[in-house]
Structure 1
Amino acid sequence: MKKLLLGTVLLTATAGMAAAQDVVRIGTEGAYPPYNFINDANEVDGYDIDVANEVCARAELTCEWVTNDWDSIIPNLVSGNYDAIAAGMSITDERDEVIDFTQAYYPPDPSAYAGLDEIDVTSAVVAAQAATIQATHVAESGATLVEFATPDESVAAVRNGEADAVLADKGFLVPIVEEDPDLVFIGEDVMLGKGIGIGLRESDTELKEKMDAALASMKEDGKMAELLEKWFPGMDPDF
């Protein structure tokens, strides 16, 4: 559940409501497994995609997927290049000032540090994906922040010696650390964000109502728990 930092970019709302359109276009990054990624069939896949597709089916919406670089994913929503975001995006107060969110479809997830050795991360060089609140946390911690365009590049920076550690969503890092005997988790987890929601333009109230109703029904009938178990085995479905 990646956490996007909006920064100082001024965004302007566009007219019209996505819910009134024939097709609802959903933006995702496609580079953050298991939340979203491009599979062997060259199609978007992952937890975000399964959740949003089920939402569209229950809300009787015709939905299409669009991939977009992370650092411009909110500006492109606001400018009308698509109508919603399902990209492991955490709900934050700062982001909520510019766009709206559905209810959460994934609980608040810890971020974690990983590196080659146990170190004091507050005085280390720490990598993070640019435009995330992990990056903001590192900068505010006293560590030296180095930013990269993708999460994979931030992990590679640790492996090649550019950084002492990486801070990212723990759900993203767990399979990487498990598969790499040289990497270990460092210190305590860090709680950031308020859970993952679908991002929408502030003006799209009808679309938000439809998606919220679909998400609520998924939680009530067990579909959300089923998808959580598929992508995050052992995850507590009660949130």
Structure 2
Amino acid sequence: MKTWLRISTLCAVLLIVGCNTANNQQEPEEEVNGEEKQEDSDAEQTSADDDATQEVEGEGVDNEDDRLAVEHEFTNSFLVETDVEPGFHQMRGGLEGFEMLIPENGIIPSMLHVIENNKIETLIYAINNNLEKKQYNVQVIYQSKYPQELKQNYLNVFKDEMGFEDEYVRVEANDLEIYYGKVEDKDEYGPVLKYFGYLFSKEQNQAISYEFMAMCQGKDECDISLEEEAEVAEKLMYSIRLLDQ
């Protein structure tokens, strides 16, 4: 897999988590005929500040993490059914090769969706839990046709990429052959969970890799239950369906 796609997971964090910081620090400047407008008096400045505050309170700041999937135009274009169960929608990939659940607050930035040669689709979505200072990233890479003789090579490379030294757990579900595992770690802000799987169609030579990561946001410490997050990761993985092509 291309290096920039691996780096793009970090971009998702910066893009979504960083929006609040950028918007809070940026101050709008008014210009008149190309020059900055001078303050006429302290009273006029106070009035302008009050008006700006009312405008923000009335309309809201257009941050990625302030919106739900149905309210985000690009994300909404992937949804095929909303509220399939509490807190989740059903989404379909751009190549129409797979469907899976997406949490209602999952956001797919357009810069993190790529289709190559109409055969391979990479999609990353991020989920913020600002109240608990948690960040989640989910990445899937769908292949409409993979060389079956290289299946074991795919699994070995994927294991190395995940830093996984144990053996995969193998299960069969939803007409899929699934190999999955997880890595629990800790950084300076708290626990980190990587849950991942490679799913192969039993009927067609389609495949999809799945990665779920849970971590603390930014520089804020948080409490993450690795067991609970693994349950969410597993739920999303088992929701994946490969569609007939």
Q: Scaled by the length of structure 2, what TM-score is found?
A: 0.27
* Structure with the greater alpha carbon radius of gyration: 2
Higher strand share: 2
Q: Scaled by the length of structure 1, what TM-score is found?
A: 0.27
